[in-house]
Structure 1
Amino acid sequence: MKKLTSNSFNAQKGFTLIELVVVIVILGILAATAAPKFIDLTGDAKTSVMQGVQGSVNSAINLVHAKALVSNQTGATGEVLVNGEYYAVKYGYPAAAGAGTPAGTTGNGWGIDKLIELDNGSAITYATAVFTHGQASDTANCTVTYSDATFASSVVTAAKSTIVTSGC
């Protein structure tokens, strides 16, 4: 019969807990640096940018509408003064595109496209109140569109923004 001695425990092979922890930490660091190269999050980022643009448009709608109500500019045409500039309004909501330059006369002024003033460096392009992400995979489907307020049957339908992010 074999006798167990204290030397038999030293003969066992395996990794210590510290060695295993070090290997796990190294694998975690490698995974953290390599994963972003394999996971493409640009579509999500562009979608988030367009959601931010829609939020800016909605804030501009609310700001101008409040100013129009206070200054009694709720007719088919009008203008409100915001931060020293005149903006065209229709039924108390910002116009999609203002006519002419800010002059302080009814019917002239900037529309919502000037009110937002997006930085061209952000790759957001806009004209006549259609805000498009210029670097989207499909720029026709990565947009925020602004619609003027309408008047029918003595009821004003509020201006609104709609977002399409299927092509971001």
Structure 2
Amino acid sequence: MKKLSNVKGFTLIELVVVIVILGILAATAAPKFIDLTGDAKASVMQGVQGSINSAADLAHAKALVEGETSSSASISMAGETVNLAFGWPTNASIVDLIDIDESVSFAAGAFFHLESNDQANCRVTYNNNLTNINGRPEITAVDLDAC
């Protein structure tokens, strides 16, 4: 009987080595193709929205305790004078109540992410256009998918 001495194919060790090398290449190359910065910017803006909500609620609670619920009043919080309208911070005063990152800008009652691809849409707005004490300011995240 004649034995086959010329066997063709790969050994198990060779296959494992190739799979490990491909895994290492995929792990180092994948982050270059997956861009998560938009999600991170949207998360920053969601955090800003939560901070605005909390700051407005705290200011409103203090205004209620001090009896400052008229159409034009002010309170002192954290060393800042906060102007109020019906017990809620005015559009211009809300920025004094929160400590925001330098990547976020404030203008005319809206907070923008400065590094966003679409600053006009990636924003959080604070709108205190109340006409009586029974309302609450609108705090809205606008199109965070555009970040």
Residue 80 of structure 2 contacts residue 96 of structure 2 at CA under 8 Å; is this kept in 1? no
Q: What CA RMSD, in Å, does the superposition of the two structures yield over aligned residues?
A: 2.2
Report the Cα distance in structure 1 between the residues aligned to 2:13 and 2:56, rounded to whole angstroms: 60
Report the Cα distance in structure 2 between the residues aligned to 1:24 and 1:80, rounded to whole angstroms: 66
Identity %: 53
Distance 1:86 1:13, change over 3 A: same
The amino acid of 2:71's aligned partner reads: A
Q: How does 1:18-167 map to 2 (within 5 A)?
A: 18-97=13-92, 111-120=93-102, 122=103, 124-148=104-128, 150-152=130-132, 156-164=134-142, 165-167=144-146
Structure 1, unpaired ranges of 5+ = 98-110
Report the Cα distance in structure 1 between the residues aligned to 2:53 and 2:14, rounded to whole angstroms: 56
Structure 2, unpaired ranges of 5+ = none
Report the Cα distance in structure 1 between the residues aligned to 2:64 and 2:6, rounded to whole angstroms: 88
Q: CA deviation at 1:166?
A: 3.8
Task: State the Cα deviation string for residues 92-117 of structure 1 (Å, max 9, x = none).
Answer: 111111xxxxxxxxxxxxx0012223
The amino acid of 1:139's aligned partner reads: Q
Q: CA deviation at 1:14?
A: 4.1
TM-score, normalization by structure 1: 0.75
The amino acid of 1:147's aligned partner reads: N
Residue 95 of structure 2 contacts residue 106 of structure 2 at CA under 8 Å; is this kept in 1? yes
Highest RCO, 1 vs 2 (Cα 8 Å, sep ≥ 6): 2
Residue 113 of structure 1 contacts residue 128 of structure 1 at CA under 8 Å; is this kept in 2? no
Q: 3-state SS of the aligned residue for 1:140? A: coil
* Larger Rg, first or second structure (1 or 2): 1
TM-score, normalization by structure 2: 0.85
